[in-house]
Homo-oligomer: A and B are copies of this chain.
Amino acid sequence: MTALDLAEVTLARAAWSRIVEPGDVVAGALVAGVGPVAALRWLTAMDTGPASVRHGVRRLCDHLDVPDAGARGRMERAVARWQPRLAGLDPRRELSVLSRLGGRLVVPEDSEWPRRLTDLGAGAPMCLWVRGQAPVAATLERAVALVGARASTDYGERTAAELSLGLGDRGFTTVSGGAYGIDAAVHRGSLAAGRATVAFLAGGVDRLYPAGNADLLRAVTQGPGLLISEVPPGSVPSRVRFLKRNRLIAAAGSATVVVEAAWRSGSLATAALAVDLLRPVGAVPGPVTSMASAGCHRLLREGRAVCVTDTDEVCELAGGLGEEGVAARAREDSRERAAHRPHDGLDPATALVFEAVPVRRAAEVEAIVRAAGVSPAEGLAGLGRLELTGLVRRDGAGWRRTVT
């Protein structure tokens, strides 16, 4: 693709992102089928009114060899909802607003396009309106989505910040939604680690929403992080756009972790989208008395999420291999080792014999055999093994333990 072609494609996709609502799969299929430029030309050349639309759609479907009447009907209805937005369409103006903010538009035809978003198929965004200096694809190469309730607790925010910090130390970018509560703690944790964090916004990237997080979101763009939206500057963050935005968060990470969520929470929707995308989902448990953890417990209870309690477990979920995996294994080993007792791993009869050997005084073999409930032969063999491993020693005519 020449630079000129890319400029034309970019402009067409910018226009499409204004014309359609996020996740419009009819538009996605159309643009994938004929390309964004031709698709836009076709749409803008059509008159309004049912007859013109029917005619235009028939011509397109004949050209694309789509005989299915259902598909034609869907396309006609789609055109009817796109046309009202063609009036006043001016992607150049929106691109110049973005440019003044230091931003840029990234399209699937770019090398910068994050590959995981293609998993969204026809529901993938038309383009990404991006603020921040970091390259998008590289920033999201190793990424985990951490999401959670706006109505969070100190416990949840602390846990979110710690996971975010730990993930940053292991080279993971965090992905969240820029909201109050858990989202904000996630972004803050990565910023504190000096690592990349990406906030997918439901409205335009010119609106640092919610207002209380404006400083935080600005700090994200000034570090190695990014603000990304699929809707153009000036777009309001509507409820439907919040719900659609969640699919970008779920798709952008190799795993999604819910840190805190009430029984019914938008974060559970994000988790469900991640499950649909075959992404592993984790949930952080909390006190059963905390309503802010009820949604996490619900995910665990319904088997839709794996229990994660620290950075290593999140890395494991996200497929973080190499050093992280080794570190996690070493930690597990050291946990096991710390809890290992000298008489662990004895065969059953020898364990019974060990139990029956007194600590404070010596006991004779017959007494040990009777107390242990083993045969005299097992008793002698067990005492022999225990003596070899240094757990018991002879004392006069009897035996006693060297350890408790």
Chain A residues within CB distance 8 Å of chain B: 19-21, 24, 77, 80-85, 87, 155, 159, 238-240, 262-264, 284-289, 293-294, 297, 300-301, 303, 306-310, 313, 335-336, 339, 349, 351-352, 355-356, 366, 369-370, 372-378
Q: Are B288 and A288 in contact (CB under 8 A)?
A: no
Q: Which residue of B lies closest to A352 (CB)?
A: B240
Residue contacts A-B, CB under 8 angstroms, 9 given? A21-B352, A77-B375, A82-B373, A83-B375, A84-B375, A264-B335, A294-B309, A301-B307, A301-B313
In Å, the complex CA distance between A336 and B19 comes to 35
Which of chain B's residues has its CB closest to A80's CB?
Answer: B375
Residue picked from A21, A285, A303, A349, most chain B C-beta under 10 Å: A285
User: Is B264's CB under 8 angstroms from A355's CB?
Assistant: no
Given contacts A84-B375, A335-B264, contact A238 B355 (CB under 8 A): yes
Residue with the highest number of chain B CB atoms closer than 10 Å, among A24, A300, A307, A375: A307
Given contact pairs A285-B287, A297-B309, enumerate 5 new A-B contacts (beta carbons under 8 Å): A81-B373, A81-B375, A239-B355, A240-B355, A285-B286
The reply to whether B310 and A301 form a contact with Cβ atoms under 8 Å apart is: no
Minimum Cβ distance to chain B for residue A87 (Å): 8
Contact B307 A300 (CB under 8 A): yes
Q: How far is the CA of A373 from the CA of B16 in the complex (A)?
A: 12
Chain A facing B: main interface SS: helix
Within 8 Å CB of A87, what residues of B?
A: 370
The residue on B at minimum CB distance from A282 is B301
Complex contacts, A373 vs chain B, CB 8 Å: 19-21, 24, 81-82, 85
| A80 contact set on B, CB distance < 8 A | 375-378
Inter-chain CA distance A222–B128, complex, in Å, is 72
Given contacts A285-B293, A285-B297, A287-B155, whether A84 and B376 have CB atoms under 8 Å apart is yes
| Closest 6 pairs (CB-CB, A-B) | A80-B375, A285-B285, A264-B339, A300-B307, A21-B373, A288-B309
Closest to A264 in B: B339
Contacts of A351 in B (CB 8 A): 239-240
Residues in B with CB closer than 8 Å to A308 are 301
Give Cα distance in the complex from A157 to B44, angstroms. 69
CA distance A211 to B222 in the complex (A): 63
Q: Which residues of B contact A300 (CB under 8 A)?
A: 285, 300, 307
* Cα of A306 to Cα of B376 in the assembled complex, Å: 45
From residue A292, how far is it (CB to closest CB) to chain B in Å?
12
Bound: A313/B303 CA distance, A: 14
Bound complex: CA A262 to CA B349 (Å): 27
Q: Report the separation of the CA atoms of residues A356 and B81 in the bound assembly, to the nearest whole angstrom.
A: 14
User: Complex Cα distance A303/B306, Å?
Assistant: 8
Q: How far is the CA of A349 from the CA of B351 in the complex (A)?
A: 70
Q: How far is the CA of A306 from the CA of B239 in the complex (A)?
A: 34
Shortest A40–chain B CB gap in Å is 16
Query: A240: which B residues are within 8 A, CB to CB?
Result: 351-352, 355
